[in-house]
A = this chain, B = another copy of it.
Amino acid sequence: MSTKRIHLITTAFNLFYQKGVHAVGINEILAESGVAKKTLYHHFDSKDELVSAVLAYRDRCFCHWLEEKLDTTAPGMAKIDALFDALDDWFNDRVATLLPFHGCFFINVSAEFGDPAHPLHQQCSQHKKSIAALIETQVQTLNIESNLIAAVTDALCLLKEGAITLAHVQGDRSAALKAKQTAHLLISGCV
């Protein structure tokens, strides 16, 4: 893949993530990246396609980061700790590759493209499904009844999304730890 293309995507992500997609114009991305307009439209047919590429890029970064965090943790309850500790790192800007926390990019983009039928909205939905699947495989390493796996996964996803929202809207940087505490209470009652 072209270096210019990558540079455009990373620059666009920086700006979109901080200010929102609609608040950032094409020209701002070009000025910030130092790339010519023709080059942008050579790689992407429209702004929406650039946004789509940015979503795909962030999806890869985020999933790889989380997957590695969880895979390098011993099976069992430690997996759940690792999940919320990872979120805590994210919320408190201890993960350089994720950039300073400005909420979940996919939740933010979903808010701007509110129509569920919009391709960009669906792309965000797909990312959330990937993360949920990732969490479910971790839950399967727990010593709980197999018919509880789906419910526990749902619960963890709810707590995760809740923590992200609390951290962003309310600015509550301890949201991940609160969610972790809640998850402990919850799962200790299931074992």
Contact = CB atoms under 8 A, between A and B. Distances in A.
Interface residues of A, number: 51
B110 A169 contact: yes
A22 interface: yes
Which among A121, A151, A154, A165 has the highest number of chain B CB atoms within 10 Å?
Answer: A165
Which among A110, A116, A189 has the highest number of chain B CB atoms within 10 Å?
Answer: A110
A157 B168 contact: no
A92 to B, nearest CB: 14
A23 to B, nearest CB: 6
A155 B169 CA distance: 16
B166 A110 contact: no
Task: List the number of copies, as a whole number.
Answer: 2
B189 A188 contact: yes
Contact of A169 (B125, B163, B190): B125
Nearest to A121: B169
Interface in A106-121: 106-116, 121
A36 B124 CA distance: 38
A166 B171 contact: no
Nearest to A148: B185
B178 A112 contact: no
A20 interface: yes
A24 to B, nearest CB: 10
A170 B128 contact: yes
Interface of A: 17-20, 22-23, 102-103, 106-116, 121, 124-125, 128-129, 151, 154-155, 157-166, 168-171, 175, 178-179, 181-182, 185-186, 188-190
